[in-house]
């Protein structure tokens, strides 16, 4: 039996045919020792490049993780600082209260404060509600009646408020009218 392919009589032709066939199939083939050395160097360079690329990726990942850890540590440090400040402020308040409780009480000052509070309460009670003049969106004159604290109690038109005022008599007017009536009799 004879093979379908003939490699030729020359051994170097046969070698070239095998190399060409292997290269067609996608294999790297070296024919001489020099080419073999060159292929090894090329492969080593490819491996070195791949290792360098992987090292760069690892370096980036480590740097990113380090930055994340650093941020987290800074947050924790800030939170701890706030907690310490809060604790110190709380301790100051507690100490202040303890000092007030421990301090001897002065009855004269306390009594004076109570009297002052009563006076201001009486003044507030005596303060009457007053009116503020305002205008509506349509231009009508309004009276806004406020209570002793200054909150709005009632808002009405000037015309209506004035007519009600004219109908009512003040205490002084009532007393004067009663005296007049008593004189006539």
User: Does a structural domain hold residue 53?
Assistant: no
What's the pLDDT score for residue 56?
Answer: 86
User: In whole angstroms, what is the distance from residue 80 CA to residue 70 CA?
Assistant: 15
What's the pLDDT score for residue 124?
Answer: 59
Label residue 113 exposed, middle or buried (CB < 10 Å: 0-12, 13-18, 19+).
exposed
How many independent structural domains does the chain possess?
1
pTM of the model: 0.28
User: Residue 13: CB partners within 8 Å, gap ≥ 6?
Assistant: 7
Apex 103 CA angle, 99 and 104, nearest 5:
170
User: Does a structural domain hold residue 145?
Assistant: yes
User: Does a structural domain hold residue 39?
Assistant: no
User: Does a structural domain hold residue 60?
Assistant: no
What's the pLDDT score for residue 37?
Answer: 61
What's the pLDDT score for residue 67?
Answer: 87
User: Does a structural domain hold residue 149?
Assistant: yes
As a residue count, the chain comes to: 185
Parent domain of 132: 125-184
Q: For 145-179, b where at least 16 C-beta lie within 10 A, e where not — what string?
A: ebeeeeeeeeeeeeeebeeeeeeeeeeeeeeeeee
**Low-confidence residues of the chain: pLDDT under 70:** 1-15, 28-40, 103-112, 115, 117-130
3-state SS record for 5-70: CCCCCCHHHHHHHHHHHHHHCCCCCCCCHHHHHHHHHHHHHHHHHHHHHHHHHHHHHHHHHHHHHH
The model's pLDDT over 149-185, given as tens digits with 9 standing for 90+, comes to: 778 888 888 888 888 888 888 888 899 999 988 988 7
What's the pLDDT score for residue 3?
Answer: 47
User: Does a structural domain hold residue 64?
Assistant: no
What's the pLDDT score for residue 150?
Answer: 76
What's the pLDDT score for residue 175?
Answer: 92
User: Does a structural domain hold residue 84?
Assistant: no
User: Does a structural domain hold residue 6?
Assistant: no
């Amino acid at each position: 039996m004879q093979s379908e392919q003939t490699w030729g009589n020359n051994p170097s032709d046969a070698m070239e045919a095998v190399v060409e066939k292997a290269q067609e199939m996608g294999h790297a083939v070296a024919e001489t020792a020099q080419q073999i050395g060159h292929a090894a160097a090329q492969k080593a360079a490819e491996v070195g490049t791949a290792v360098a690329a992987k090292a760069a990726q690892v370096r980036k990942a480590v740097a990113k993780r380090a930055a994340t850890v650093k941020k987290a540590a800074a947050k924790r440090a800030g939170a701890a600082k706030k907690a310490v400040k809060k604790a110190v402020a709380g301790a100051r308040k507690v100490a202040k209260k303890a000092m007030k409780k421990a301090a001897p009480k002065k009855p004269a000052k306390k009594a004076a404060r109570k009297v002052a509070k009563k006076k201001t309460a009486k003044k507030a009670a005596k303060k009457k509600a007053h009116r503020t003049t305002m205008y509506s969106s349509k231009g009508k004159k309004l009276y806004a009646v406020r209570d002793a604290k200054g909150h709005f109690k009632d808002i009405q038109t000037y015309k209506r408020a004035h007519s009600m005022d004219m109908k009512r008599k003040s205490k002084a007017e009532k007393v004067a009218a009663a005296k007049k009536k008593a004189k006539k009799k």
